[in-house]
Amino acid sequence: MEPYPNPLLAGFNPDPSVVAVDGTYYIVTSTFEYLPGLPVYRSTDFAHWEQIGNVGTRPEQLDLSAVPTGAGAWAPTIRHRNGVFYVIVTVPRGRGCVVFTATDPAGPWSDGTVLAGLNGIDPDLAWDGAGNAYVTYSGLLLDGANMGKHLGIQQVRVDLESGLLLEEPRPLWSGTGLMFPEAPHLYQRGEYWYLMIAEGGTERGHGVSIARGPSPEGPFEAHPSNPILSARSTTRPVQNTGHGDLVEGPDGQTLMVLLGVRPGGGTRAFSPLGRETFVTRVEWVNDWPIAEPVSLAVRSAVTDSVRFDGPLDNRWIAVRRAPESVATVDVSRSELRIVADGSGLSGPSPAFIGRRQLTIAVQSSTTVDISRGVGGLAVRYDEDHHYEIEARATRRGTLVTARASVPGLCQQWSGELPAGPVTLHLDAARPATAIFSTEMMTSDHVSLWAEASGQEVRLARIDGRYLSAETAASFTGRVIGLYATEGTVTFSGFDMHGSDL
């Protein structure tokens, strides 16, 4: 059988949840502090996916303006019942547990109903035959006096209309005893209800375990050989595999979508794109599922050339605010304008819009007019981890500056180019050598360079490991995009091309 592409959804796309409706598949993933939040991807063959929209398109739906980095929109579940799509998600340190609905998954999605009093993460939504709605979640308290305490997997019946909890939440089977039981999903199949969870933490120890019972409330009996999926202590190219959701695939076989990373380096390795969405096949033996190890099947080249000749598409994201509130497209001139507002890339809401880095090797570029401001091209993991190249007009011509910021440290390099439009470049590539050396013990190197009027200046080649899932404190991934720090900066075009082959 042809393998599905893996990663299935490349780049910053963790915590996938999937639903099938009339032969079409929909996946949503986590977005944390970015807006629009919770992208919705659609496919009919499970191989080709298109982003059809986002659940959180209006800032008040997720209300991220004050959420700390690392919080925000965590781990959604998408389900469908009686013609209505549901996305349930928690916004820790924000709105809490919220249920959104839509009849068209491309949107618009509702304003959201808060399930007041539900304190935890990774909510699942399931209905029994009588129509009772069950929310099963991970009782990791991220709000209130007991922050950090973990109550294991919890369940509560809810009234989705009013948002009321209909009983005291109760504990359920919580795995084999590894840390952070989370990402629960409930499924009815044959005579059983299955409770599938992740445990071991979202890093190298991650895995998927499962139990089954006679009702959605249990009692649950554990699979005799959990975990049913994990890459822990293996040399597989896809690591941290866990946080899965099951669906029946196009050929009738059960598929699990899940998160994983693609580390590069040596025994210590680094995953520049963050946690991505992967897929693997699941076999049923004696009414128990067992998942195949996740294999890598990268796509051929990815090209993305944005020309600013229409409204911003749904793949642009910005930090704690909508991209449209940061940047304006001037269609008549095919330009994007960003007006600086005093916020920098190290601040909580920079004047920055970007797109997910989709391939580990990437070449990105933009041409800027800095006659009225200062700005450039950046790769951002979060406000503490970013590399950028920017241009500023001087009396003599153009000053270009490359900068690398990691917690507590910032280094910069500068060079000069003639006046006029400047093309800024930010490229990433795997280490050039396969020979055992310190050079190859990292994920990639990021090169920052610029050109104007036929002259070129190469400013920096920086180890990429500091912008990776293993080093950044946040749960996001790399986002490459455009920003302004002074005045008004105009960008003509944004290109991001790459390949993992």
Question: Which residue in the set 79, 95, 204, 243 belongs to the binding site for ligand 6LW (CB under 6 A)?
Answer: 243
Residue 211 is a binding residue for ligand 6LW (CB under 6 A): no
Which residues within the stretch 351-390 sit at the binding site for ligand 6LW (CB under 6 A)?
none
Residue 278 is a binding residue for ligand 6LW (CB under 6 A): no
For residues 35 and 474, give the distance between their C-alpha atoms in angstroms, rounded to a whole number: 16
Q: Which of 297, 304, 287 lies closest to 224 in space, CA to CA?
A: 287
Nearer to ligand 6LW, 125 or 417 (CB): 125
**Within 13 Å of residue 74, how many CA atoms lie on the same side as its CB?**
28
Nearer to ligand 6LW, 124 or 444 (CB): 124
CB of 250 to ligand 6LW, least distance (A): 26
Q: In sequence order, what are the residues at sequence separation of 6 or more whose Cβ sits closer than 8 angstroms to the Cβ of residue 344?
A: 350, 485
CB of 498 to ligand 6LW, least distance (A): 24
Q: In sequence order, what are the residues at sequence separation of 6 or more whose Cβ sits closer than 8 angstroms to the Cβ of residue 332?
A: none
Q: In sequence order, what are the residues at sequence separation of 6 or more whose Cβ sits closer than 8 angstroms to the Cβ of residue 256?
A: 208, 229, 244, 245, 246, 279, 280, 281, 282, 291
Catalytic residue among 33, 122, 124, 182: 182
Residue 182 is a binding residue for ligand 6LW (CB under 6 A): yes
Runs of H (alpha helix) within 27-81? 59-62
Residue 202 is a binding residue for ligand 6LW (CB under 6 A): yes
CB 398 within 8 A of CB 368: no
For residues 422 and 452, give the distance between their C-alpha atoms in angstroms, rounded to a whole number: 5
Tell me how crowded residue 157 is: count the other CB atoms within 10 A of its CB: 17
Nearer to ligand 6LW, 259 or 417 (CB): 259
Q: Which of 317, 275, 228 lies closest to 8 in space, CA to CA?
A: 275
Q: Which of 279, 292, 244 lies closest to 4 in space, CA to CA?
A: 279
Residue 496 is a binding residue for ligand 6LW (CB under 6 A): no
CB 120 within 8 A of CB 137: yes
Residue 19 is a binding residue for ligand 6LW (CB under 6 A): no
Nearer to ligand 6LW, 94 or 498 (CB): 94
How are strands ordered across the β-sheet holding 96-102?
Answer: 74-81, 84-91, 96-102, 113-114
**Within 13 Å of residue 50, how many CA atoms lie on the same side as its CB?**
8
Nearer to ligand 6LW, 97 or 377 (CB): 97
CB of 259 to ligand 6LW, least distance (A): 6
Nearer to ligand 6LW, 91 or 426 (CB): 91
Nearer to ligand 6LW, 199 or 463 (CB): 199
To the query of whether residue 2 is one of the catalytic residues in this protein, the response is no
Residue 71 is a binding residue for ligand 6LW (CB under 6 A): no
For residues 493 and 341, give the distance between their C-alpha atoms in angstroms, rounded to a whole number: 22
Q: Which of 363, 377, 366, 307 lies closest to 497 in space, CA to CA?
A: 363
Residue 183 is a binding residue for ligand 6LW (CB under 6 A): yes
Residue 475 is a binding residue for ligand 6LW (CB under 6 A): yes
Burial label for 144, CB within 10 Å (0-12, 13-18, 19+), is exposed
Question: Which residue in the set 6, 17, 30, 31 belongs to the binding site for ligand 6LW (CB under 6 A)?
Answer: 30
Question: Which residue in the set 14, 139, 249, 373 belongs to the binding site for ligand 6LW (CB under 6 A)?
Answer: 14
How are strands ordered across the β-sheet holding 254-261?
Answer: 239-248, 254-261, 276-285, 288-291
> What is the 8-class DSSP label of residue 117?
T
For residues 241 and 294, give the distance between their C-alpha atoms in angstroms, rounded to a whole number: 8
CB of 30 to ligand 6LW, least distance (A): 5
Nearer to ligand 6LW, 166 or 179 (CB): 179
Residue 13 is a binding residue for ligand 6LW (CB under 6 A): no
Nearer to ligand 6LW, 182 or 335 (CB): 182
Residue 121 is a binding residue for ligand 6LW (CB under 6 A): yes
For residues 449 and 446, give the distance between their C-alpha atoms in angstroms, rounded to a whole number: 10
To the query of whether residue 168 is one of the catalytic residues in this protein, the response is no
One character per residue 138-167, x = contact with ligand 6LW (rule: CB under 6 A)? ------------------------------
Question: Which residue in the set 38, 40, 75, 472 belongs to the binding site for ligand 6LW (CB under 6 A)?
Answer: 75
Residue 74 is a binding residue for ligand 6LW (CB under 6 A): yes
Question: Which residue in the set 62, 95, 119, 122 belongs to the binding site for ligand 6LW (CB under 6 A)?
Answer: 122
Which residues within the stretch 420-439 sit at the binding site for ligand 6LW (CB under 6 A)?
none
CB of 487 to ligand 6LW, least distance (A): 37
For residues 340 and 327, give the distance between their C-alpha atoms in angstroms, rounded to a whole number: 10
CB 278 within 8 A of CB 312: no
CB of 272 to ligand 6LW, least distance (A): 17
Catalytic residue among 15, 199, 384, 500: 15
Instruction: Count interface residues toward ligand 6LW (CB under 6 A).
Output: 15
Residue 15 is a binding residue for ligand 6LW (CB under 6 A): yes
CB of 166 to ligand 6LW, least distance (A): 24
For residues 101 and 84, give the distance between their C-alpha atoms in angstroms, rounded to a whole number: 7
Nearer to ligand 6LW, 24 or 146 (CB): 146
Residues that bind ligand 6LW (CB under 6 A): 14-15, 30, 74-75, 121-122, 182-183, 198, 202, 242-243, 259, 475
Active site positions, annotated: 15, 182
